[in-house]
Amino acid sequence: MRTTHQPIESVLRPSGEVAEALDRGAPVVALESTIISHGLPQPRNLEVAAELERIVRDAGAVPATIAVLDGVARIGLDEGELERIATEPGLRKLGFRDLPAAAALRASGATTVSATSFLAARAGIRVFATGGLGGVHRGWVETQDESADIDMLSRTRITVVCAGVKSILDVPATLQRLETRGVTVAGFGTDEFPGFYLHTSGERVDWRIETPEEAAGAMRAQDALGGPETALIVANPVPRDRQLDPALHDRVLAEALEAAERQGVSGQAITPFLLAYLVKGTDGASLEANLAAVRGNARVAGLIAAAWSRGN
């Protein structure tokens, strides 16, 4: 059998700042790029990309926004590169499985939670902040549409700080899948699983942690126990006074799901379609709630990364 020895540098490249921080054992937080390119409208998306990096820095960690540029997975982007992610027309949405093809074809794309978690872990980053995870879609019985995010988190040693899973999903089914796949889930300062745009999904979580140090403790225990390389989900709710009005949320989401069905939207397009529909249908209120959630997650991720690196 013949194997090739293409060096990892040809497909995965950390920025100077990120490489140096990882070498020193300094705290680093990965940020995904799909939320920038496909999850948020222009021109807010570019401001948000920069703001999230600032929040991570203020919390004491080095931000590493991850995306694929001209076939190379880049860990940590400069200003011009962030701008490409926010503005380049036709930028692809890349899940984990898309990475080899994107590399071979020198394609560029934003990375989803599945691709970002994989790349972050591969680069040596342990903490990752996003908005809401992908999961089991409503109507799964017909479509079998379950985000690759879940599968990747069941085999990647990473801590993801998120506001739960996107409320466009079947939340109880997603929680069930996370349980089956052995992914640890803890509420951050809450006994309830957050509802992305909403402070709570109405579902409960089995574990509640209060501090970044407790999260870091769970991460150390994961390593001490060994076993399958599963993720830790730190579910951090949007503050109640920043959430989307639950009645408005339910009404517009029902419309959005109906519109998706009518227009036959499916596969990779469904999540961006529903998120964009909610932004329009709520006059931007869902966007504000989404941003409040992501900001909070970036901050908590920075604090967890700092606590993790202090104890190592």
Q: Which does 302 bind (CB under 5 to 8 A by kind): Mn ion, ligand PSU, none?
A: none
Q: Per-residue DSSP letters for 162-191?
A: ESBB-TTB-HHHHHHHHHHTT-EEEEES-S
Exposed e or buried b for every residue in 163-174, given b needs 16+ CB within 10 A? Answer: bbbbbbbbbebb
Residue whose C-alpha is closest to residue 265's, from 133, 139, 161, 101: 139
Among the residue ranges 34-42, 201-209, 216-224, 257-265, the one whose residues contact ligand PSU (CB under 6 A) = 34-42
Q: Of all helices (H) and strands (E), which one includes residue 305? A: helix 285-310
- Our finding on whether 215 is near ligand PSU (CB under 6 A) is no
Residue list 256-295, contact with ligand PSU (CB under 6 A): 268, 271, 275, 290, 294
Write the interaction track for Mn ion spanning residues 112-151; mark x where CB under 5 A is met and - where it is not: ---------------------------------x------
Q: Of 145 and 170, which CB lies nearer to Mn ion in the complex structure?
A: 145
Binding mask 124-163 for ligand PSU (x = CB under 6 A): ------xxx-x------------xxx--------------
Between 53 and 98, whose beta carbon lies closer to Mn ion? Answer: 98
Instruction: Name residue, tokens 């941003």.
Output: 291
Q: What does 35 bind: ligand PSU, Mn ion, none (CB cut-off 5 to 8 Å by kind)? A: ligand PSU
Q: Does 288 bind Mn ion (CB under 5 A)?
A: no
- Cα separation, 162 vs 149, in Å, equals 12
Q: Indicate the residue whose CB is closest to ligand PSU.
A: 131
**Residue number with CB closer to ligand PSU (112 or 282):** 112
Cα 88 from Cα 91, distance rounded (Å): 6
Q: What angle do CA 239, 242, 243 make, to 5 degrees?
A: 85
Active site residue 261: no
Catalytic annotation, pick one of 32, 53, 81, 288: 32
> Closer to ligand PSU at the Cβ: 96 or 309?
96
Residue 5 C-beta: closest distance to ligand PSU, Å: 31
Cα–chain center distance at 76: 15
Task: Give the chain's length.
Answer: 312
The helix or strand, by DSSP H or E, that contains position 129, with its residue range, turns out to be strand 127-129
Residues recognised as catalytic: 32, 166
**Interacting residue ranges for Mn ion, rule: CB under 5 A:** 145
